[in-house]
Structure 1
Amino acid sequence: MTLACPAIDGVELLSAYRPGLSSVFASPSGTLLAEGAEAEVSGGVHGMLPDQVEAMLTGAGPGARAVVGAIPFAPDAPARLVLPRLLRRGTAPPAGAAVPTARPAPARAGGAPPCDDDGYLEAVARAVRDIRAGRYTKVVLARALRLAAPGFDPAPVVRALAAGASGSYTFGIDVGGGQTLFGASPELLVARRGRYAVAHPLAGSAPRSTDPAEDAHRAAALLSSAKDRHEHAFVSEAVADGLRPFCRALRVPVEPTLTATPTMWHLGSRITGEITDPDVSALRLATALHPTPAVCGSPPGAARRAIAELEPFDRGFYAGMVGWCDAAGDGEWAVTIRCATAGPEGLRVYAGAGIVTGSDPHAELTETTAKLGTMLAALGPADRALTTRGA
């Protein structure tokens, strides 16, 4: 029987996280530590996944049980959602919290031969040509960086990210096969609390600067950028359209606002609404929205085909969603970005950028390099040249 413990200090839960034995999800609203597995669901996102999860949770008291896990980018790829034997809930980790940790061993280049920057530049250039030819209106192209790290323990990175990425959704999820998915996403796909739903899509980005004056200039430039506002509109409108069948009194901001992470500025829109049917769970809302144009493109079918043609790797859980849903239907699902996977074969770090008609290949390369920097800084790789290479 799954147990729900009284809320405790989120720092204590992060300290108790053990990759392979537990999963953790920390957000501005709280921290969950899932230990062991009583049951598991692994269907595709566009199949019967919500029905399977709701059936598994049937009979549990409101909030007493929850599934925790991750769902991949591809709709037919198996998810990894677990009903834990022990579910512990805690407070949100405060920014700058002193979480007991040890510095992870430095990662180094390894695995498959790296692709040079020219490969990504050409992929972006081709996407821009396709967009101008009318094949699609937006596509998100990602890079994956492979690092060798024998015996790497992601727990210290997860704890450091939770302490340093205020407002983000930090996670360390056992996805099976000895693999751990971990990171700190700035983007909330959707959350449900009682009768209310909230989504905070992000699209349109700029690297931050360590110089305060330059950083402020970059933020202002992003907010006024026609290209980035155009890109953001795709995502905001798609999320609103996805929520509309489930919500009344849907509130969609007319103008985006700035969202900051340690390495990036983003354009964001906080979309809220009241759920019409109380039986619609957070997971059902999330699967209805996934994937948004923020990680795929528009129209989604054509964008998926372009991603398959232009990206030289399988995304796996990158650009999927990660989070939890309880027996009452409440839950939180973040878009799986600013993340990495760790396993017997080493580490793989991911980052992507939205390509639209006004995209410049070199600017998109710079953007993905800055996004990779979030995880590379946490991992502490010895080879800093890795920040400009993909594999």
Structure 2
Amino acid sequence: MRIIQIIDSLEAGGAERMAVNYANTLADEIEFSGLVATRKEGTLFNQINPKVSYLFLNKKEQLDLAAILRLRSFVLKNKVTHIHAHSTSFFLAFLLKLICPYLKIIRHDHYGNNEFLETRPNFVLKQTASFFNGVIAVNQKLKNWSEVQLKANNVIYLPNFPVKELGDDDHTILKGLDGKRIVSLANLREQKNHFLLLKVAKKLKQSHADWTFHLVGKDFKDKYAAQIKELIIDYDLENNVFLYGSKQDVENILNQSSIAVLTSQSEGLPVALLEYGLCKKAVVVTKVGEMPMVVQHKINGFIVDSDEADLFYEFLVNLISNMELRSDFGKALYNTIQADYTAESVIKKYLNWLQSNL
């Protein structure tokens, strides 16, 4: 098989990271693995395996004929058989299918607001659904949604998977005290609900002022990001909560942290959680998306409803007070990731699915 991944940008987001992960992992498994960024490059460019054939389209508008023709040329030159389109790049794959009908095209659904699927826009997805040979969903809710709402055939649930980052020039040094850092890997988006994190941080400052929070993720310089920064000041947390922006040296950052958290109000299956497990971090996360399928409460982490700030605080204090519990949870979560969420296991299912159903 000769497969290319298509993604709108290479900014450090979950869907973007998975497009790179698929391309990199497949480079050692199939005849040809390619990656196409349609609109924008970004920090993940440095994570592309040299074995992956890469193209930046620099697409300027929704119907950019020149970009479509450049993509067609890339596909023909490399004798591509399958187009794997992540998130909103599915529409470009659909347009390509119109002029290259022999191509097998796959839509990878990473939709993050799956706690609110009833409000998801679906007109374009419905109109194009019959052109796709298969759909990959990152959790069971999204799989059911495609089957019921879009009447899509050949839908499979495949979990996200983490990979070790390639060598990176970044070497982030976290502020705060060694052994007393709590990290959150989450872009500054509303669905990530940093407001819950700040409520917990405000409460934790009263009881454990020497513990600090470290927020790593892209700052979109929008209203939501501004509100986070205002609350840090309002809550008097300037010495307790630190923002770092987007970073690529994830393993280095996690190795400087003792506890990892996610406070999301909606999720698919966050790559960050899998990275936490890969680095054996004790976690407290919210009960949304596919996270309850990964984190078993009081077995390999703590999991709490997304509006339970007091309970989230209580679980954090449990971890802060018990180093042995942190170690046990970290090892248990690592074992969960190794059993069910490795690149090897997911790619094997993926290739079997392609060979059997497409």
TM-score bucket of the superposed structures, by smaller chain? under 0.3
Greater relative contact order (CA < 8 Å, ≥ 6 in sequence):
1
Structure with the largest fraction of helix = 2
Query: Which one has a bigger Cα radius of gyration?
Result: 2
User: Per residue, is there more strand in 1 or in 2?
Assistant: 1
